[in-house]
Structure 1
Amino acid sequence: MELKQLIIQLVASYLATVAAAINVNAPRNFIYWAGIPGLVSYAVYLFVLNLTNSFIATFIGSLIVSIMGQWMARKFKTVVNVFYIPAFFLYVPGVAIYETAEYFMENNLIAASQSFYQALVTALAIGLAVFVVDSAMDTYKYHLNKRSQIK
């Protein structure tokens, strides 16, 4: 991928995330900040996608969204959904779901099942990444609380 195309994709990922933040009525003072996890995670996603498959790239990109979302929510003292939801718009398998419905309507069951599988795998990667980061944060908080009670 050439540099010009990469820059266009990264700018588009930031703008799409900001637009999603506006769409979900994120607080005004966080709208532009909400684009940062989308931009960074999509840059990592594109890099990993060149090395591996879409499942791993989506998982790693979603991990970045989850980590940055957790960090930014604590930094700005707001709910994590302000940063999670807009950034995950980049990874939601909307095209695969649309194609699944289209192939079913055309009675092309093989293509429909392949498209459905792709949508399912993408959704699994997103969910798994959120689960891993949230579980790690809960474990970290638990051990911090336990350590402070010992003192």
Structure 2
Amino acid sequence: MKEFLLAFLGSFCGGIIFNIQRKNLIWAGICGGLSWTAYALTYEYTGGIVFSTFIGAVVVGLYSETMARILKTPAFVFSIPGIFPLVPGAGAYFTVLYIVNSSYSDAVNKGVETAAVAGAIAFGILFTTTLFQFGVRIKERIGRND
């Protein structure tokens, strides 16, 4: 519960920074809390950082697309703050730290991991957005054929 609350606050405050409307701030915070919860549960069972991040990003995408349709607002209003808990800031920091300390093999390892996590975030959101768009097109085609 504590982790959900901290992820909620991170996304909520990120929404404030990006000047999201007040009525959407709570929903953006919930997006971050859910994404971190999905990440943490997946990481607990698999131990894979990249896969866990991908699952967290899929949750962000599903939640953002769903809430965008319910609240009639763009999906990025929820997805941008929702990914804040997943962003690999510590990985980037340690990559630079290893470079400064001339530990280049550690820097390469951490840098590749950080890039993979960032790619997993992008791919997870892209995957769910594409699925939603595909579903909308199928629904439109079925509606035209009736």
1:73 to 54, 61, 68: 68
- Residue by residue over 1:63-121, the C-alpha shift from the partner in whole angstroms, topping out at 9 and shown as x without a partner, is 11110000001111001111000010111111111221222222221111011011111
**1:47 alignment partner in structure 2:** 41
Structure 1 distance, partners of 2:67, 2:91, is: 30
Under a length normalisation based on structure 2, what TM-score does the superposition of the two structures give? 0.94
Q: TM-score, normalised by structure 1?
A: 0.91
What residue identity is the alignment partner of 1:92? V
- Aligned equivalents of 1:86, 1:28: Cα separation in 2: 14
| CA distance in 1 between partners of 2:17 and 2:84 (Å) | 11
In the alignment, what sits opposite 1:29? 23
2:3 is matched with: 9
Runs (4+) of structure 1 exceeding 3 A deviation are none
Supply the RMSD in Å over aligned alpha carbons: 1.1
In structure 2, the residue matched to 1:140 is 135
Provide the rounded CA distance (Å) in 2 between the counterparts of 1:96 and 1:104: 12
Aligned residues: 145
AA in 1 matched with 2:44: N
Gaps of 5+ in 2: none
Distance 2:93 2:122 in 1: 20
How high is the sequence identity, in percent, across the aligned residues? 26
Distance 1:35 1:74 in 2: 17
TM-superposed CA distance for 1:11, in Å, is 1.1
**Where in structure 1 are there 5+ consecutive unaligned residues?**
1-6
What is the distance in 2 between the residues matched to 1:131 and 1:30?
A: 22
Q: What is the aligned counterpart of 2:95 among 89, 97, 100?
A: 100
**How far apart are the structure 1 equivalents of 2:130 and 2:15?**
25
Q: What pairs up with 1:82-97 in 2 under 5 angstroms?
A: 82-97=77-92
